[in-house]
Each structure stands twice: as structure tokens, then as C-alpha cells.
Chains A and B, each alone.
Chain A
Amino acid sequence: MSTATPTPSTDETSRRDFLYVATGSVAAVGAVSVAWPLISQMNPDASTLAMASSEIDIGAIPAGQIVTVKWRGKPVFIRHRTADEIKAAQDGDNASMPDPATDKSRVQKPEWLIVIGVCTHLGCIPLGNQGEYNGWFCPCHGSVYDTSGRIRKGPAPRNLDVPPYAFLTDTKVKIG
């Protein structure tokens, strides 16, 4: 085919090239725009986002007990700490640990420790009132947390996360 075509002038060549580039660019913009809904549809939907907070009645939890509630599909530990446990946690403030934090910085009221019950190592759920510090012990890979939910031994890199929460009344807490 091309042999039959007379050689186009430079002017025409540049005009033609411009047309090709313009068409290609516009088509590319279209393809990229279509990608956005395809990606976005996998993000949390409106109903999931709306469920982001839950209210829990903590009045019936006796001291020394840990209650597990669900928030955003994850377990949250609500621990009504005894005086001994609070003391143990505060005493540990100066010990050396992988992720240093004071007990005070991790609680709003000393008797209530609220942490996300997911081991910061690889996502298992630690067991309560176990381990060397009588805090939590993760059976998967042996991470040991104290009564403030801080990592003391084992492979986990961070302390148990504290979710956003607020005491609505003395016996009611809103998580999220």
C-alpha cells in the first residue's frame, strides 16, 4: 500500500501525527478513567463505613475480667483491671521494651484497658490472663503482652493498638 502513496509534505505529516497522538491520548484518558470505578468498588461500601462505631455497656463487667466485643469485624478487648494489674502495668513503665509507652498514655481511666485484640505480629488473637506478665499471650508465635497490652517478649513489633473510644457515661463506652 505504502508504495502507492506519494510522499506527504512535512506539513501534512505533522498534522497527521498530531491527529494520531491526540486520538491515542484521549483514548488513554478514557481507559484510565474506567480503571477508577474498578478499583474503588473494592473499598468499604457505604454500609460498612456507617457501621464504624459501636456502643458497649460495661457496667456488668467485674474487675479482673476481659470482655471481647466486635468492632469493624475485629475483636476488641475490654479489660476491667484490678488494682494489682494496674500497679503491675505502671511499674513496668520504665522497663525496656520494643515499643516503649507509659501505661497512662494507653488508658483513659486506669481500671479500663481497651485494646484491639489483634496481635501486631501476624494478626492472631492473643489469649487473655496468660504469659509471663499475665497480660496476653499469643499462641501463634509466642508474643507476650503485659497488663497494659504492651509487647514485652516475642516477635510482635508493636503494642496492642488502642482504638478510638470515649466514655459516654460511667458504664457506657463508645468505640470508634
Chain B
Amino acid sequence: MHGLSTFEPKNGFVKWLEARLPILSFAHGSFVAYPTPKNLNYWWTFGAILSFMLIAQIITGVVLTMHYTPEATLAFSSVEKIMRDVNWGWLFRYAHANGASMFFLAVYIHMFRGLYYGSYKNPREVLWILGVIIFLLMMATGFMGYVLVWGQMSFWGATVITNLFSAIPIFGNEITTWLWGGYSVDNPTLNRFFALHYLLPFVIFAVVGLHVWALHVTGQNNPDGVEIKDVEKDCVPFTPHATMKDGLGVVVFLLLYCWFIFYVPNYLGDADNYIPANPLKTPPHIVPEWYFLPFYAILRAIPDKLAGVIAMFAAIAVLAFLPWLDKSPVRSAKYRPMYKALFWAFVVVSIGLGYCGAMPAAEPYVTVSRVLSLLYFGFFAILPFLPRWEKTLPVPATIAEAVLAKSGKVEPPKPEPVKAAPAKAPTKSTRLWK
């Protein structure tokens, strides 16, 4: 949904370039004139925050690569050399390690926002699925990056996670041997993880490009979940309005990020990872980084190895089916009282799973994890049936109306049950920005 650009080249060079590669008008249409719903709240700044984090991770990561040695006997000490000897090395290392956590924090908020406001629904299914793919790529990248430190938790985390694949029937052992390049996690494993850890962020970057492209085709969802009807009344131009709001979001997020880098840099990390990898000694509690904990809890909740692995991957895969599981014609949880309650229950369940994942595999955590895992999948199981029981609240006809209702200038619309699906995204915006 491009707000048909009014980009008019003025100087000769721009005209010349425009005739050959219309990149400036494209950028203008996508990031300047692009119509942004007026009613977006600060939860919508997380897209910009995530873009910022991706760039920050790539830059700090490339810097670290200049000093890191991907070799099993040298990896750990090269990280220590970065921390002790390299100019500002501690800053880059802490920024990169905590950056991974911040990246995941932001992506979880971004995903829950999409979940709450129904951003996955028609016509944004592809946009949503691309997001799930980015999430999966992030998990792979985060995991492999953690291994590179080659501390105790790196090594044993790698061992445990790659052993998941041994659950695959018949070929399981061959697959793990292939993944390792040997008979255990060792130097070949470290080398390939390094190669992939360097590669995947650029793959993420490309998929983010598709994600943004898909977003700009359908236009942004918004807190009221109604489509843009009149660009002039419902929207503001992306620049300066959204740019400035996103910028503020990024700076506030940076405050949190920098607090972690400079004042509590090891808070989110595991102390055991400051012990060099020892293939003959397993640490007492193997715990993944916090962002994997809910899925780790699901894995451990199921007593069967293969079923546990399947459940863990299913917990992520099920997200991709959300657009078809949720059949309600209303998008935003703002107008769906039952879904809203269910959403908050799902948030609680996810946090609870995370807590259980951090605890030792003993009672009562095992039972609690099992109950919570059931509830996790229960959320997705109940979604298709929700519209049968749910009485949705009246949805404003337009964004402009929703904004006016909020500022109290207009009576809220008369209760009127919603039957039809929300209007489809306009294929072409009707007005040009002046």
C-alpha cells in the first residue's frame, strides 16, 4: 500500500539516477510518504527497535569476528583476549551478548503485540509467516552464537540441542554425526557453527526485507484493527510522525539495553560459561539462555524423547497456522473480551513455562510444566471455536472515528454486531499526499 509517492526530483543528478534506478523515489514512498495509521501506540515502535537491534548485532558481530578465533583450543581464550586486550573489546562483547537478549525481548513483545491486535489475520498472513521464519532464524543464530564462546554452557548446550536430532527415527544418529562432523561436539562443530552464525544474520536481513515489503503491501494493522479507508483522514505520513515516534522508542529501548551493557552485563548470562568447555564434565544444571526457556520447558515436560522434540518444534510451528486457527472476523482484542482474557492467560502460561524451564528437572516443576504445556497448546486449540461463544464489542468504522471516540469528541458507535469480515486492504490508496 504505497502512498503513491509525490517524489519529484529537483536536481539534475537525482533526475538522472531516477531514470536509471528509482531508488530514491522508492525510499521516499516507503519511508517518507508512506501512510501510517494515526492511532498506532508505542507497541508499534518495536518494528523499528528490532531493525535497530539487527543492525547493532551485525555491526558488533563483525567487530568481534575481527578478533575471535573459531578453533576449539583457542576460542575461549580469544574471547577473553577480546575482553582484556582489544581496545573497547569488552564493550563490543557485552553489547553483542546482551544485544541477543534485547533482540529476543523486543521480538517477543513484537509477537505478543501482533497476537493481541490480530495482526496475523487476512490479508497479513504472509507477513505473519515471514515473521515466524525470522523468529526461527533468530533462534538458530542465537543458539550457534552462544556456542562460539566455547565455555561449559556453550559446549553442553550444543551437545543437548544437537542430540535432539538423534530422536529422529532410523537416521537420528547419522544426522547428529553429520551435524557434529565427528562423534561428539568438537572443533568441526565449532567451525561450522561459526560459519553459519556469520551467515544467518544476513539471511535474517533478507527475510526482514520481505517482511517489510509484505507490510508495505497490506499496510500496517492498528490498535483498532480496522483497515485504512481514507488515507487523508486515517493516516499521517511516515516521516516525520512515525519516524520520530519510532526514534523515541529506540532511544528509550537503548536506555534499557545500555543499562545491561554497562551495569549488569553478566546478569542474563550463565556463570558456568566463564569456565572453558570440558567434554568430560557436565555442569549440574544445564540451562539455555532465558529466551529459549519456555520451549525448553515444553521439551522437558514430555517424558518421551521423540515426542518432546516434536512438541517443542510444534510450539513454534503452530504460530504459523494462527491466521487460519483464529476465525473471528474482529481483529483487535480491544473488541474481543473473551480473546483478550485468553490472550493474557497465554502470556501468563508462556512466562510460567519460562520459569519452569530455568528450574531443575524435578518436582513440582515437571508437573507444572506439563500442565502449562497443555495450556499453551490449548490456547491454539480453542481459538477456532471462540467465535461461537464470543460476543464482540462494536468496532469503529474507521480509524478516524476510533481516534475521535478515544479523545471523547464523539459518542462511541452504537452497539452493532459485527458480521462481515473487516474490509479488505485497499489495493491502491485513493489519495496522494500533498
Contact = CB atoms under 8 A, between A and B. Distances in A.
B70 interface: no
B81 A47 contact: yes
A59 interface: no
B59 A3 contact: no
Interface in A23-66: 37-38, 40-43, 45-48
Contact of B86 (A1, A3, A41): A41
B84 A41 contact: no
A46 B66 contact: no
Contacts of A43: 87
A41 B236 contact: no
Contacts of A48: 85
A47 B67 CA distance: 13
B434 A3 contact: yes
Interface in B196-231: none
A3 B433 CA distance: 12
Nearest to B62: A38
Interface residues of A, number: 13
Contact of A45 (B59, B85, B434): B85
Interface in B56-95: 59, 63, 66-67, 81, 84-89, 91-92
Given A1-B236, A3-B434, A41-B63, A47 B85 contact: yes
Given A1-B236, A3-B434, A38 B87 contact: no
Sort chain B's interface into a size bin.
10 to 19
A73 B63 CA distance: 23
Contacts of B89: 41, 45
Contacts of A47: 81, 85
B85 A37 contact: no
Contacts of B63: 38, 41
Contacts of B84: 46
A38 B81 contact: no
B237 interface: yes
A48 B67 CA distance: 13
A37 B434 contact: no
B81 A41 contact: no
Contacts of A40: 87-88
Contact of A38 (B59, B67, B85, B86): B59
A49 B92 CA distance: 20
B59 to A, nearest CB: 7
Contacts of A1: 236-237
A45 B92 CA distance: 14
Given A3-B434, A38-B59, A38-B63, A45 B236 contact: no
Contacts of B85: 45-48
A127 to B, nearest CB: 34
A98 B368 CA distance: 85
Given A1-B236, A3-B434, A47-B81, A41 B59 contact: no
B88 A41 contact: yes
Contacts of B87: 37, 40-41, 43, 45-46
Interface centre among A38, A43, A45, A47 (most CB of B within 10 A): A45
A37 to B, nearest CB: 4
Nearest to A44: B87
A41 B237 contact: no
Contacts of A3: 434
A26 to B, nearest CB: 10
A41 B88 CA distance: 6
A99 B67 CA distance: 39
B163 to A, nearest CB: 37
Interface centre among B59, B88, B91, B434 (most CB of A within 10 A): B88
Contacts of B91: 37
Nearest to A49: B85
Contacts of B237: 1
Interface of A: 1-3, 37-38, 40-43, 45-48
28 contacts: A1-B236, A1-B237, A37-B87, A37-B88, A37-B91, A37-B92, A38-B59, A38-B63, A40-B87, A40-B88, A41-B66, A41-B67, A41-B86, A41-B87, A41-B89, A42-B66, A43-B87, A45-B67, A45-B81, A45-B85, A45-B86, A45-B87, A46-B85, A46-B86, A46-B87, A47-B81, A47-B85, A48-B85
Given A1-B236, A46-B84, 11 more contacts: A37-B87, A37-B88, A41-B67, A41-B88, A43-B87, A45-B67, A45-B81, A45-B86, A45-B89, A46-B87, A47-B81
